[in-house]
Structure 1
Amino acid sequence: MKLNTKYHGLLEYDEKNIVVFRKGIPGFEHLKKFILVPAEENNLFYILHSIEDENIGIIVASPFDILKDYEFELNEDKTAELKIENMEDIFIVNTVTLNSVLENITINLKAPIVINIKENIGEQLILDKVEYPIKYPLFKGEVSC
């Protein structure tokens, strides 16, 4: 299948790769079906793109590529709701806020998107009891002139 997007060009995908967000994603609750594709420009980023609205694509990244000790717990209810049988069946990404100034690009560590890649269902969580920031610098101290 093909999706002609406004910002990312033509994206090809298989129907089996559609991830369903039953509750939508905060800010886009009306959109339920997304695909996750690697960003062509940078292997750190992915695009979580709606297949219901060609204008909506969210830049995301794996938090483990940014913060090696990133962790949180999924309670039993959430594990059951997302039909998670093994932790190997989940892929976690977090939203990225882009900026023309490299040092101002941030990742939201407070609200991970958990995707069960076996069942193709996902949900964005808000971590209540974990002290991760909403705007964690992606390139903290790594830029030199």
Structure 2
Amino acid sequence: MKIKTLYYGEIEIKEESILTFESGVPGFQDEKRFTLIKLPENSTFQILQSIKTPELSFAITNPYIFYREYEFQLDEGTKEQLGIDHNEDVSVFCIVTLQETIEKSSLNLQAPVVSNMKNNKAKQIILNDKRYKTKHPLYQESEGKVHVSTNEKNR
């Protein structure tokens, strides 16, 4: 199927690559179907692109690349809604807020996108955890050096 995208114009996607957000995405309740577009120039980031609205897309990434200690528990209702039976079926992404430089960009650890990759059901959940904010620095400062975890664990 062909869709129009914000960054890449019209592209061909496979029906089985569509993620379904049963309740939409917070702030966009009518937007229920998205696809992931890999960036050819940077495998760390992807675009979560609406199938219906070309102008609606989000830069996302695997949060464990940047914060290997990131953790949260899914409630039973979310597990049931997404049909999650095994942890290895789950992928977690976080929305990136891009700034003029990548070093000034931030990551929303308070509202991860959780997806069951076996059935392509997804949901953005809001965590009630004071450790996580909507604007964590994408790159952590550590002794004057930029630190990026190489652990690409995806829960």
TM-score in terms of structure 2 length: 0.86
Matches within 5 A, 1:28-39: 28-39=28-39
Displacement over 4 Å in runs of 4+: none
The superposition leaves residues 63-98 of structure 1 with CA deviations (integer Å, 9 ceiling, x where unpaired) of 111101111001222111110011111110000000
The aligned runs of 1:1-145 (5 Å cut-off) are 1-141=1-141, 142=146
Count, aligned residues: 143
Q: Which runs of 5+ in 2 are unaligned?
A: 148-155
The 3 A distance-change label for structure 1 pair 75 and 130 is farther
Deviation at 1:2, TM superposition (A): 2.0
SS in 1 for 2:27: coil
Unaligned 5+ runs, structure 1: none
**Alpha-carbon deviation of 1:60?**
0.4
Greater relative CO (CA pairs within 8 A, separation 6+): 2
SS of the residue corresponding to residue 16 of structure 1 reads helix
Maintained 8 Å contact 2:110/2:129: no
RMSD: 1.5
Answer whether contact 1:103 1:140 (CA < 8 A) is retained.
Answer: no
Percent sequence identity is 36
Distance 1:108 1:128 in 2: 13
Distance 1:85 1:53 in 2: 32
CA offset at residue 58 of structure 1?
Answer: 0.7
